[in-house]
Amino acid sequence: MAETGTSPLPPTPLADTALARAERFVWLTARVLEQRLFAYHFRDGDADPVEAALDAYRNEDGGYGHALEPDLRGPVSRPQHIAHALRVLDAVGRCGGQRAERVCRYLTAVSTAQGALPAVLPGQDGFPAAPRAGGPRGELLVTGPVVGLLHRNGVWHAWLFRATDFCWQAVESLRVTHPDEVEAAVTFLDAVPDRPRAREVADRLGRLVRERRLAVLDPDGPGADPLPRGDAPGGRRLPHDYAPFPGSLARAWFTDQEMARSLDFLAAEQREDGGWPARRPEWTPAAVLEARPRVTLDALRVLRAYGRPVG
């Protein structure tokens, strides 16, 4: 009999499915936050434990820190942590009310006059961050996902009007871009209220992605990038990276055959330990270790969204 006051461990999965292998990987390696997200998405878990785990990363200024985004170490609040926090809250249906108000107050305080969010705030150079984390200027890379997720959840705030105008200008002016910017733009375009304008801009962006060969359309073909999430200019993504669910505007950029190959590749990427690879430069081992459970959850959710069996 278990001792009083202790929590029983989850039963060991018996089925040899992608989900069962991933579950074992999550329980062996993930932070509490990702463990509770897994339970919410795949084991009928409640949203309250997820939100409680996320609160451990929240600071008094309304922002988030403490390596919530694994590539940004240290306790200080950074805008990129906000994007991660909003993804979590959105996933469990808690991205609204006082939570959103606190977040928007923080964003108002750290944004530029145009409403743009910098990747790194001035005076935070003393805390470690991945070289790819960006600089102090306002960037679509940070602002697009935050604005998109707030719109997706029906949040309205004075800061959001300015930030939306910034994102429109940034997205519509994209000519030579990087996959990270494309993903940020898609998150914005998938949720911004002006749908006709979003579809028009998304069509142009999709043509740019294909012209610049920013997507690996045949991952098993000759010359395909074996690690399509490369960070150098010209690094590429797979179709499912741009369109992680069928309703995304980016889904129209790819044929059914191209998307099927992309999903086949994603399913086959599951490693022997049950997790998916982080596909990012390893600047510190901790960041990769902490990123893999989140990447694993994302992979399972993408496959499920497209009707692929996971277990």
* Per-residue pLDDT tens over the stretch 122-131: 766 678 888 7
How does the average pLDDT of the chain come out, rounded?
89
In this model, does residue 81 exceed pLDDT 80? yes
- Mean pLDDT for the stretch of residues 74-85: 93
What letter represents residue 138's amino acid?
Answer: G
- Mean pLDDT for the stretch of residues 266-273: 96
Residue 231: per-residue pLDDT: 47
pLDDT digits (tens, 9 = 90+) for 171-193: 999 987 789 899 999 999 999 99
Residue 266: per-residue pLDDT: 96
Using a pLDDT cut of 90, give the percent of the chain over it.
73
Residue 11: per-residue pLDDT: 53
Residue 70: per-residue pLDDT: 93
- Mean pLDDT for the stretch of residues 154-173: 96
In this model, does residue 45 exceed pLDDT 90? yes
Residue 176: per-residue pLDDT: 76
Highest average pLDDT, of 35-44, 132-141, 222-231, 278-287, comes from 35-44
Using a pLDDT cut of 70, give the percent of the chain over it.
87
- Mean pLDDT for the stretch of residues 199-220: 94
Q: Does 5 or 136 have the greater pLDDT score?
A: 136
In sign, the C-alpha dihedral spanning 265, 268, 274, 280 is negative
pTM of the model: 0.90
Residue 133: per-residue pLDDT: 64
